[in-house]
């Protein structure tokens, strides 16, 4: 297949590009380095240095013999998106090109506006490029479990049957996100659903939980091919942060009571899920929604697991309860369905102590690069950030 990966420089985009190229697909990655730029602005650089896309693609080709075409440009600019589609005529597109940080989206007006404009414009431009230039193209869109929030009822896989005053219909499951970033994903879903039912587009919305890990078959070829591994408060996801904190001897930063439950998955399973979605295209006029996670844990459970893995690795790991910088339920009901991807053939990599210990071992090799200043949360949902939280660098 000819596949375009939007946001191909990201934590998930780059490993996805290598996976599809390794499987023999024609792969084009597009990215404008927005995440790298925000990382510099907020002093949130990843643990290991990541070569730029051209360098990574060259290295990957040397090691695997597989080519990845690189296009540097802004998906929020329709001229760029239109050129991608007219030039490459993709059969599938994977859309990761979004500002993915909840804390960044809550920093202040400029950051919120940038998140809103980038995420919605990229999705809107993608929809129009497909509608006008590649109508049969299967859009695989990364949504997030956070769109649903934490309702006091079971979360279904995208849709819910409602009976009201003796009549029945099926609707998108109610969404009530906990950050502006997550809310942009809710708005994306509404846009996609409108254009699916109006113009017969084919869309899979992957509602993904927080991802952890730094290893995939292809990333393991060479350290320089690793995904960008963040442990800071802006881009670092919970498990990755805890692993680095454990290695650095910093008490694990549990926010609030730690009863917040989410659905987690290994980076290797993200690769599988996206591949399974692409291998089973949806018919025209259908929005398929799949909840993408393999296990649910509370923050406290994860802290205990990382502590246990630390014991095995002879690290003394302490746990701290910080005042929660976010506005979220710290104790709640959580029971989301997630059978769709298992039915398509997903074989989960579960989070065992051995898996966590293995990842700690990878982090240990880079422990000299850990900057403790990147760990404490700087963004409070209800307050402006500290004046020195943002390191200003000129716009690119
Ligand atoms: N948390 C802590 N301590 C920390 C960091 C986070 O207790 O040091 C808590 C948060 O308060 C939250 C939970 O851990 O309750 C998960 O936080 P996270 O930062 O791992 O995840 P989140 O901000 O929700 O966002 C991440 C990705 C985002 C993706 C989302 C999936 O950054 O792009 O969409 O996970 S989900 O959470 O299911 O919406």
What domains, with CATH codes, occur in the chain? 2-212+267-294 (3.40.50.720)
Determine how many CB atoms are found less than 10 A away from the CB of residue 117. 13
Q: What percent of the chain has pLDDT over 70?
A: 96
* Mean pLDDT in residue range 219-237: 97
Output the ligand 1 site: residues, CB below 6 A.
Answer: 100-102, 144-146, 182, 208-210, 237-238, 241, 253-255, 260, 262, 299, 326, 328
Determine how many CB atoms are found less than 10 A away from the CB of residue 167. 7
Identify the pLDDT of residue 385: 57
In this predicted model, what pLDDT tens digit does every residue of 347-368 receive, in sequence order? 999 999 999 999 999 999 999 9
Q: Which one of the listed residues 96, 148, 185, 268 is annotated catalytic?
A: 185
- Pick from 236, 177, 245, 205: which is nearest to 341 by CA? 205
- Pick from 51, 49, 9: which is nearest to 28 by CA? 9
Task: Give the C-alpha separation, 13 to 9, whole Å.
Answer: 6
In this predicted model, what pLDDT tens digit does every residue of 103-146 receive, in sequence order? 999 999 999 999 999 999 999 999 999 999 999 999 999 999 99
Task: Give the C-alpha separation, 334 to 298, whole Å.
Answer: 10
In this predicted model, what pLDDT tens digit does every residue of 261-317 receive, in sequence order? 999 999 999 999 999 999 999 999 999 999 999 999 999 999 999 999 999 999 999
Distance between Cα 238 and ligand 1 center (Å):
6
pLDDT band at 396 (very low <50, low <70, confident <90, very high): very low
pTM of the model: 0.95
Distance between Cα 360 and ligand 1 center (Å):
20
In this model, does residue 384 exceed pLDDT 90? Answer: no
Atom in ligand 1 nearest the alpha carbon of residue 102: 23
Residue 144 annotated to the active site: yes
String of DSSP letters for 157-187: SSEEEEEETTEEEEEEPP---SSHHHHHHHH
- Pick from 364, 327, 68: which is nearest to 177 by CA? 327
Residue 185 annotated to the active site: yes
Q: What are the distances in angstroms from CA 293 to CA 81, 98, 143, 341, 377? A: 30, 19, 12, 9, 25
Task: Give the C-alpha separation, 126 to 207, whole Å.
Answer: 18
Task: Give the C-alpha separation, 369 to 46, whole Å.
Answer: 9
- Pick from 129, 106, 73: which is nearest to 184 by CA? 106
Task: Give the C-alpha separation, 83 to 127, whole Å.
Answer: 14
Beta carbons of 232 and 41 less than 8 angstroms apart: no
List 292's β-bridge partners, or say none. 208
For the chain, the average pLDDT equals 96
* Mean pLDDT in residue range 64-81: 98
Identify the pLDDT of residue 383: 67
Q: Cα 352 vs. chain centroid, distance in angstroms? A: 22
Beta carbons of 305 and 264 less than 8 angstroms apart: no
Closest residue by Cα to atom 17, ligand 1, is 238
Q: Cα 64 vs. chain centroid, distance in angstroms? A: 26
Distance between Cα 247 and ligand 1 center (Å):
20
Atom in ligand 1 nearest the alpha carbon of residue 237: 20
Cβ neighbours of residue 250 closer than 8 Å, sequence gap 6 or more: 372, 375
pLDDT band at 387 (very low <50, low <70, confident <90, very high): low
* Mean pLDDT in residue range 163-190: 98
Residue 181 annotated to the active site: yes
Task: Give the C-alpha separation, 19 to 17, whole Å.
Answer: 5
Beta carbons of 102 and 182 less than 8 angstroms apart: yes
């Amino acid at each position: 297949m000819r596949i375009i990966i939007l946001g191909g420089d990201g934590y998930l985009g780059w490993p996805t590009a290598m996976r599809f190229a390794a499987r023999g697909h024609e792969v084009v990655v597009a990215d404008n380095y927005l995440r790298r730029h925000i990382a510099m602005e907020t002093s949130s650089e990843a643990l290991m240095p990541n070569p730029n896309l051209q360098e990574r693609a060259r290295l990957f080709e040397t090691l695997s013999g597989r080519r990845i075409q690189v296009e540097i440009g802004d998906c929020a600019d329709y001229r760029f998106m239109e050129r991608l589609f007219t030039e490459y005529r993709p059969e599938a597109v994977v859309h990761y090109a979004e500002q993915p940080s909840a804390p960044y989206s809550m920093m202040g007006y400029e950051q919120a506006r940038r998140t809103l404009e980038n995420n919605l414009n990229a999705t809107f431009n993608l929809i129009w490029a497909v509608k006008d230039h590649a109508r049969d193209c299967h859009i695989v869109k990364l949504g997030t479990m956070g769109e649903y929030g934490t309702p006091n009822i079971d979360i279904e896989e995208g849709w819910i049957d409602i009976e009201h005053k003796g009549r029945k219909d099926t609707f998108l499951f109610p969404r009530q996100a906990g950050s502006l970033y997550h809310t942009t994903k809710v708005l994306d879903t509404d846009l996609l659903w409108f254009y699916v039912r109006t113009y017969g587009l084919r869309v899979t919305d992957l509602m993904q939980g927080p991802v952890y890990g730094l290893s995939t078959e292809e990333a393991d070829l060479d350290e320089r091919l690793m995904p960008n591994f963040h442990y800071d408060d802006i881009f670092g996801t919970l498990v990755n942060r805890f692993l680095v904190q454990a290695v650095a001897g910093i008490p694990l930063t549990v926010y609030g009571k730690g009863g917040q439950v989410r659905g987690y998955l290994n980076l290797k399973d993200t690769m599988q899920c996206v591949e399974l979605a692409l291998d089973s295209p949806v018919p025209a006029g259908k929005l398929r929604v799949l909840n993408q996670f393999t296990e649910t844990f509370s923050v406290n459970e994860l802290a205990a697991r990382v502590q246990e893995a630390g014991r095995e690795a002879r690290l003394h790991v302490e746990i701290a309860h910080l005042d929660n910088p976010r506005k979220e339920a710290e104790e709640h009901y959580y029971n989301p369905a997630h059978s769709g991807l298992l039915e398509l053939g997903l074989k989960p990599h579960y989070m065992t102590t051995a898996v966590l210990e293995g990842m700690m071992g990878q982090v240990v090799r880079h422990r000299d690069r850990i900057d403790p200043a990147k760990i404490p949360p700087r963004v409070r949902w209800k307050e402006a950030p500290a004046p020195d939280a943002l390191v200003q660098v000129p716009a690119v």
